[in-house]
A and B are shown apart, each in its own frame.
Chain A
Amino acid sequence: MQHLISSILIYLGIAFIAFGVIGIYRFNNFYPRILVASKVDTVGFLTLMIGVIVRNGFTVFSLKVGLLVIITLCINPLITHSIARSAYYSGYKIRKD
């Protein structure tokens, strides 16, 4: 049972990541691309890590994975924000108001 739930969660996470990868080729502007990539990637990461935690049960392994989840939840939006901010302040503007 535990194995089945973890497998479903892992494949769901991979499906989310695949949607993100499709998204960065589907759009042909920079700002929509970075929007799609950041959101869907973080959701896929979270789902896949929960799947791995369920697979292993309460062990030291799961504790480390939980630490990794917390760190990445802080870091991933920060990196995306930093890239988008760098593009915006450099004057890379794609649409007239």
Chain B
Amino acid sequence: MLKLTLLALVVFSLFAVQTQKLRHAVIYLGAFSMSIAFVYLLYDAPDVALAEAIIGSSLSTILYLVALQKYKIFTIYICVNDTEIEDAHFFSGEKALERQLSKFCAKEELEPQIIYTVEDVHKLFEHPYAIIVTFDKQYITLYAHPENYKMQAMEQFLLDEKPVGTPYRFIQMED
């Protein structure tokens, strides 16, 4: 019983260290603090468990999120052509482009938020976005927001990397 929980502790802490996206690390740390409070309880230290529950699950989560506000959020919408999104989309197909965009965000110290959607491009323009990616047979089109000043750097980065398959087309939207 104790050993299983200790195993979970190791796994969560390793994932929290190795991940590139900081908001995922916050979630892993939440799970980590829950498991470690349970371990304290099994070691007959309920007062420490109480303190860990208070600090770990609410206070440190909120503190980390407030600190993450300093990071710029880079919202990327990826339009999928099929009628329904399934889990298979997240592990293949558009994954290569997503990985390159994540790499770019890590290099420029941005926090990527990648959202897969089936919605039409024109409806997506109402949301706050940084980049919208659409796929068709000839091009991969990247629409950039008018105030997106990272577009030049991203164009350069994507052209230097290994191409995904179809050529890119960059469109800077206007007001």
Contact = CB atoms under 8 A, between A and B. Distances in A.
Interface string A19-56: 00000000011000000000000000000000000000
Q: How large is the interface on B (under 10, 10 to 19, 20 to 34, 35 or more residues)?
A: 10 to 19
B52 to A, nearest CB: 19
- Is chain B's binding surface mostly helix, strand, loop or mixed? mixed
Q: How large is the interface on A (under 10, 10 to 19, 20 to 34, 35 or more residues)?
A: under 10
Given A95-B83, A96-B83, A90 B115 contact: yes
- Is chain A's binding surface mostly helix, strand, loop or mixed? loop
B87 A93 contact: no
Nearest to B90: A28
A92 B86 contact: no
A29 to B, nearest CB: 6
Interface in B105-126: 113, 115-119, 124
A92 B115 CA distance: 6
Contacts of B87: 28-29
Interface of A: 28-29, 90-96
Interface of B: 77, 83-88, 113, 115-119, 124, 127
13 contacts: A28-B87, A29-B85, A29-B86, A29-B87, A90-B115, A91-B115, A91-B119, A91-B127, A92-B115, A93-B117, A93-B118, A94-B85, A96-B118
